[in-house]
Structure formats: C-alpha cells, structure tokens
Structure 1
C-alpha cells in the first residue's frame, strides 16, 4: 500500500496539481495585497474613504457590508484578468492541433479506412 501511495504521489499530474495550488495560494496573497494596499486607496480617494471594507449601509437593524464584497469582486476581476492573459499567451505560443492536422493531411489510419470504404463500395455494386 505504501508503494502504491508513493507511485501515486510521484505521478506528474499530482505533482503538477500540488505546484499549481501552492502558486495559486501565493498569487492570491499578492493580489489581495495589491487590492488592499494600492487599488483600494486609489478608489478611496474618490469616495473619500481609504478602506472599502468599512463601507456599510443599514436598513433597520440589518447592516450590509458591501465594501468587503467590493474588495472580493476586485480581487476576482484581477485574478480572472491575469488568468485570461496567461491563457491567451499560452495559446499564442502553442500551435493548435487542428491546424497541424490540416497541414499534415490524412493520417495512415485515415488513408487505410478510406481504402477499405472504397473496397466495400466496389463489393456492393
């Protein structure tokens, strides 16, 4: 059982996933710092407040802390934009498989299947 566990952990997919999670956590911390230390003060200049997380409105005894929600929305938008840029960059660097297949022409298997279809059509006539 220990041997199987070692093999499972040593697989590339598990290691890649672990690295991705660690980098993602570190990246999230960087984005939160960016939002709270740079973007929120800029927004706060226009709103007259420095900390968006303190923005609250009340209806009766209920308090709605929309400032914290705005912080999280800003965090999400920044992360989503960076991921978009990364995917766009990766797509630009990596060739599309469909284009490669069109350039190469039919594979050997496709040629053989075509020949088989032609032979079957001749037999039916």
Structure 2
C-alpha cells in the first residue's frame, strides 16, 4: 500500500514538472490569447477605445480610410465602385486589439509565472546551499594533448588507456 502512495506522489510530481516546463506555459498562453481574452479585449476596444477615438472622429475605427486613387465612390452595399480605398482604420483597430491582448496576457500570466519560477529556483538553491558550479575551462591545448595520449595508448595497446605524458619538443625541435 505504501508503494502505491509513493507512485502516486511521483506521478503528481512528474505532472507538476510537466506543467511547469516553459513549452507548456507558452502553449497555454497561446490558447488563452486565441480564446479566452478575445471577448474581453473586443469589449474593451468597443466600449472604451472606440468612444475615445469617437470623441475625435467616428466611433468605429473601420470607417477610417483613405482614397488612393480618386474618386472613391461607394455603392449602396458599401462596396467600392470606383477608386482604390485603403482601410487603414481596420488595420489600426486590429493592431490596437492585438496590443491590448498581448499586454493583458503578459501582465496577468507571463510576468507572474516568471516571478513564481524565479522564487522556486531561489528556494531550490537555498535548500541545496550551493549555486550551480562553474564549468571547468579546458584549453584547446589540453584537449589536443588528451587526444594525443589516447591515440598513443591505442597504438601501444594499453588496456586502461593510460599513458605517461609525452615529452614535448622544445623550440629547437629536440
């Protein structure tokens, strides 16, 4: 019975580690951007941003456009009959919608998760008492000498691969 409890704990620990990996968090953020915040952000843009823009001009950003080739004439159904109309208001509205969505996701999900992970790492290092060890710096000369020693050991048939260090030639070649 104790074994199943231990297995359950290890499964939960594994699941927790899986959830805390960066890829899962990034995927969750992408899903949230695409689904959950779309309605909220759209409501903010239509309810707050568009009325502020409407104080200067029209309330709907989609109505902002420029005529590239005059004269721009619209038909009764709103289609362009003549001219080339650039609908820059639609682009500005979509960009504003994206910026608001990105800001909400960053400040409500990404930033708190990054702080949480940093605290978890600090606690882990405090428990172990030692930070990550410094990597050992190996020079190119040392690597080449090790390769030389292994090749000599291979040629002489030394079973354990140990070879007495070879004498290096001096400046005069001896």
TM-score after normalising by structure 1: 0.59
Larger Rg: 2
Q: What RMSD in Å do the two structures reach over aligned CA positions? A: 4.0
The structure carrying a bigger helix percent of its residues is 1
Unaligned regions of 5+ residues in structure 1, if any? 1-10, 111-119
TM-score after normalising by structure 2: 0.44
Question: Runs (4+) of structure 1 moved beyond 6 Å?
Answer: none
Alignment partner, residue 62 of structure 2: 53
22-31 vs 71-80, which moves further: 22-31
Alignment partner, residue 32 of structure 1: 42
**Cα deviation code 1:81-118 (max 9, x no counterpart):** 122212111111222648839943468xx9xxxxxxxx
Unaligned regions of 5+ residues in structure 2, if any? 1-14, 20-24, 70-82, 136-145, 147-163, 167-174
The counterpart of 1:104, out of the listed 130, 138, 144, is 130
**Cα deviation code 1:3-45 (max 9, x no counterpart):** xxxxxxxx988xx968963674121122112112221111221
31-40 vs 90-99, which moves further: 90-99
